[in-house]
Structure 1
Amino acid sequence: MNILKFSLRNVCVVLPIAILFFQACNKPVILDREAGEEETVISLKKKKVLVIALDGVVGASVEEMNLPTINKMQENSVSSFYGLIDTISNAGTTWADLLTGTRLNKHNVKTENFSAGNFTQYPSFLKRLKDQNNQIRSIAITTLPLLATGVFGTEVEKHIHLADKDQAAKDSAVNRLKTDDLDLLLVDFSIANREGKTYGFGTSVSQYRQALQTIDDYIDELVYTVEHRDAYANEDWLIVVTSTHGGKPDGTYGGNGPLDRNVFSLYYNPDQKKTVVPRPLFNIPYDGNFIRFNVQNGAQLHAYVNNPAYNFGTSQNFTVEMRIKSDNTTSDDPPLISNKNWASGGNPGWLIFKQGNHTRINFATNVSGSRLDFNGPVFTDNKWHMVSVSFDRKGLISVYQDGILFHRAI
């Protein structure tokens, strides 16, 4: 039982030891609790918010750059480098996502034009704040040309648009933070988007790397200005840093690909305990290499490895995990992953295979009559899923679909 085989036609299979990929939680809980405290601290300070929006910043690139300001802020933040945005990732759709907190099926912005937006039924968070308290003072400072009109209305006290002038926008934001008693400031930087479209998105492009470093410097100055306000001791600031969309090395963006949709988000407050949201285990676009098995010349293809590491013996508990993507049903019983001779289900070993539209698990020892067969999860939706099967030598087999218990057999 020391040969591990992989085989399935028209199915993509990935082992988790080979790939780890993610979506971050898009609504983290911001805590007021210091590490080690038993009770929540209720702050009587005046709440204020700084939102820093970054156009065209790929989340994975931010992580790879190891930017000093963002690294320092992470110590008191909820953050993730692996957020996923809407299935359409152009600037219009993603800005509508950001402002309304909904997706394109609700706000209806599907192009880089806001004219079709359903902002009456799904208004921006700025309008919702103003409706709750008309005394709230908010200002928007933007650089993306798209934002000149059509998305900021009377809900902001002032919209300062400085098309493609990031440094001027930073300077304007700094001056506002120094002198103004505003409640919310939104500032947008589009330098990474411009450099990405011209030279390519990604850390392999020097111009894009420099754009990310410039943004990090801008953020450093903004945070410094906030924390040195004359009234800072009586204020409680939440600083949100988030990218709107990513992009590909060829300079394109806007599609459904993982690099187009990968964004970075950070929610910073000095009293926030460090919380990093990792990549999820399932249902995310897969970026990388995978094994795809097909029938060729009437024969099913398979991959195998003859490694003693996969010989678990007769007493060791073990768990087998894999990622699978399938869009079809099968007319026979092709194996997904196995360490046994599948000429007979009674042969010693274990097997996860496809039958019709679902997976199926088979297990047998060298003891006569020990064979066990039962159904696993259904996979025909052409999405990535995680399948985990845990074998307990006391006689318990547990099957998990995307981390949730699907079936347990004795």
Structure 2
Amino acid sequence: MTDNSLVGKRLWNYPDFLARAFYQDQSTRTIATASWPVLADPHGLGPIIHPRMEQQFAGLHNVIVRDGETLGYERIDAEIASIATAALRQKGFDAGFVYFGEIDDAGHIFGLAGDEYRDAIRRVDTHVKKVLSEVSRRSDELGEDWLVVITTDHGHLDEGGHGGTTDRERESWIITWSPHRELPEWPEEIAPHELAELMLVERRTLR
């Protein structure tokens, strides 16, 4: 699998982080909410995140997808932020995946030097702050132990475009944040397939 067409995919052979978290502890409640349908919509090219219908029927897994490709990521990312914060205000979840697509879309179309890219970063930053505010509230009021991991799936060239094999396009970054707990000491370089395992190890230490 080398591009977003997902040709040659073997996704069922590679469980996502939420699936692995559930099978680590089958009382785990998970949620996936995304503005790019390929990530979680079982009727499209994906899904990259397994639907796990039995867990959905049991109320242990929730999948909420919106179509930023068709309706625009600026609008749909705002909906995703509201969905994630609403879930946190209600019963919450033990492991979650939240995807905002506007920065990626702006980088592909406009490149990294223009106002469009910076404006997209500011808007998504606002969405992230909204979600983290609810995480902090739950941690303070309910005594929950949270670790938030923020990353992206690839880098960009300054001029934008889509696809490529340069180091800048293949590299990414990781940010960890927690309201109270000590942050993990992870290696400076992490291969994409290693991140889920690192998070699962940390999850075993959460209260």
Same fold (TM over 0.5): yes
Alpha-carbon distance, 1:241 to partner: 0.5
Alpha-carbon distance, 1:275 to partner: 6.2
Q: Is the 8 A contact 2:3 2:163 kept in 1?
A: no
Alpha-carbon distance, 1:234 to partner: 2.2
* 1:161 pairs with 2:70: no
1 or 2 for the larger relative contact order (CA 8 Å, sep ≥6)? 1
Q: TM-score, normalised by structure 2?
A: 0.71
Deviations 1:292-348 (A, max 9, x none): xxxxxxxxxxxxxxxxxxxxxxxxxxxxxxxxxxxxxxxxxxxxxxxxxxxxxxxxx
Q: Secondary structure at the match of 2:138?
A: coil
| Identity across matched positions, percent | 23
Bigger Rg over Cα: 1
* 1:227 pairs with 2:136: yes
Q: Is the 8 A contact 2:146 2:181 kept in 1?
A: no
1:197 to 90, 93, 108: 108
1:272 to 175, 178, 182: 182
**Distance (Å, rounded) in 2 between the aligned partners of 1:121 and 1:276:** 26
Q: Is the 8 A contact 1:199 1:207 kept in 2?
A: yes
**Distance (Å, rounded) in 1 between the aligned partners of 2:14 and 2:28:** 20
Gaps of 5+ in 1: 1-108, 280-410
Larger fraction in strand:
1
Change (3 A) 1:230 1:111: closer
Gaps of 5+ in 2: 69-75, 190-207
**Distance (Å, rounded) in 2 between the aligned partners of 1:254 and 1:229:** 39
Change (3 A) 1:221 1:120: closer
> How many residues get paired?
170
Change (3 A) 1:136 1:273: closer
Deviations 1:172-193 (A, max 9, x none): 1111111123111211000012
* 1:253 pairs with 2:162: yes
**Distance (Å, rounded) in 1 between the aligned partners of 2:63 and 2:87:** 12
2:8 to 110, 116, 140: 116
* 1:184 pairs with 2:95: yes
Q: Is the 8 A contact 2:35 2:99 kept in 1?
A: yes
Aligned-residue Cα RMSD (Å) equals: 2.6
Larger fraction in helix:
2
Q: TM-score, normalised by structure 1?
A: 0.38
Task: Please show how residues 354-365 of structure 1 align to structure 2 within 5 Å.
Answer: none
